[in-house]
Amino acid sequence: MSTKQISQQSENRNIFQKMGLPSQPVILAPLAGVSDHPFRRVCTELKADLTYVEMISATALNYESKKTYEMLKRHESEEILGVQVTGRNADDTASAVAILNKLPFETIDINMGCPVKKVVKTGCGSAILKDPARVYETVKKCKEATDKPLSVKIRLGWDRQMITAKEVADAAEKGGADWLVVHGRTRADDYSVPVDLEGIAALKQQLNIPVIGNGNLFCESDVKYMKSMTSVDGVMISRGALGNPWIFESLKFPEQQLSLDDWLQTVMKHLDYQMAEYGATGSGHVCMRKHLLWYAKGWPGVKSLKDKINTSIDLNAARQHIAMFAEEMLNKGHLVRTPLNFLQEGRFQWDPKWDMDRKLDRGVGTDGLEAH
């Protein structure tokens, strides 16, 4: 590597420090239907370094969709926040980035990895992985449209026959991306396909900008393993935070166990944040029910709690069920939650009920995407 390249590399590495982040940040992914501010606040309080608003559509933003602006809501307590956008072409994406540039976000990510059919059909998300020239044009125009740090989130390719990560990453870097987030799967892979750590490592080797690793990170040892195999500059947590926002804290304090008390306090706090924002009924209730079912994981005998949550009439009722369940656990002497070490214990099962990708296909969270 030339001296110029080395100094360029250390300049790029500083991007996280310039943003006031640790040099190896642990990031909560943008999660459609999940990463609203009540959940983001819970994760931040449990030591997530950076969080994101869920993916929004450039087209919807350019058309000033009210629903999209609602999705962009930031809580006053959030000190740092990222936003992610996907667009059907370079110009659309760049004009959305110009709008986002004027809004209170510290960083902007361009989604080039979303596999959802409805999204891809419009040329958004992972559709762009087929066309590195478009990646270059998009990143370049977006970079010109913002003075904020700009990242790109990709998968390794469209499918196993069309692995384009190398070309896409090169185009993103040349276009001016400040860092790259890589989910080590292709668009065609489902979650049963292991994350390709060699694929992530190759990008880390290739690029001068920082690379953030993503995929199958459920506990401290998953993160350690990914880092040791790839040398990535940080990690992005996705499903690993669902029902387990403590994952962020556990990466910093791996020896700590999750006590019943801490569990209860956080779940109640999330309920408070949720109810303050959305009220106890309607969409706030539906969305929180999903979180509560995730929170129930790791405790013995949760079937009846899950049934109660599912049939609760509002969040006040759900809150009572949680409180009673915690009391029952206390009485039975279950004071610590079983670690959710899914992959290592070979018991990670993705309940189809939780499969937001499928829900996305039915239109949830794709405000504006379906129309174009």
Q: In the chain, at which residue ranges do the beta strands (DSSP E only) sit?
A: 26-28, 56-57, 82-86, 107-112, 150-159, 162-163, 179-186, 211-214, 234-237
User: C-beta of 310: minimal distance to ligand FMN in Å?
Assistant: 18
Residue 10's closest CA among 163, 168, 196, 209? Answer: 209
Footprint on residues 230-289 left by ligand FMN (CB under 6 A): 238-240
Chain centroid to CA 110: 13
Member of 113, 132, 210, 368 binding ligand FMN (CB under 6 A): 113
Answer yes or no: 114 catalytic.
yes
Given a contact cutoff of 8 angstroms between Cβ atoms, the answer to whether 136 and 124 are in contact is: no
The smaller minimum CB distance to ligand FMN, of residues 36 and 54, is found at: 54
Within residues 221-240, the interface with ligand FMN by CB under 6 A covers 238-240
Minimum separation from the CB atom of position 167 to ligand FMN (A): 20
Among all chains, which residue has been given the structure tokens 């010109």?
A: 144
Cα separation, 263 vs 260, in Å, equals: 5
Q: How far is CA 53 from the centre of its chain?
A: 8
Amino acid at 25: P
Contact residue for ligand FMN among 15, 26, 29, 264 (CB under 6 A): 29
Q: Which of residues 203-222 bind ligand FMN (CB under 6 A)?
A: 214-217
Binding-site member from 27, 31, 124, 318 for ligand FMN (CB under 6 A): 31
Say whether residue 30 binds ligand FMN (CB under 6 A): yes
Residue number, nearest CB to ligand FMN: 356
Footprint of ligand FMN on 330-359 (CB under 6 A): 356
Least CB distance to ligand FMN at residue 153 (A): 5
Using the CB atoms, write b or e for 132-163: b if 16+ within 10 Å.
Answer: bebbbbbbbbbbebbebbbbbbbbbbbeeeeb
For ligand FMN, the binding residues in 33-92 under the rule CB under 6 A are 33-34, 54-55, 84
Whole-angstrom Cα distance, residue 54 to residue 31? Answer: 5
Instruction: Identify which of residues 30 and 234 has a Cβ nearer to ligand FMN in the complex.
Output: 30
Strand partners, 159: 162
Residues near ligand FMN (CB under 6 A):
29-34, 54-55, 84, 111, 113-114, 153, 183, 214-217, 238-240, 356
Catalytic residues, which ones?
114
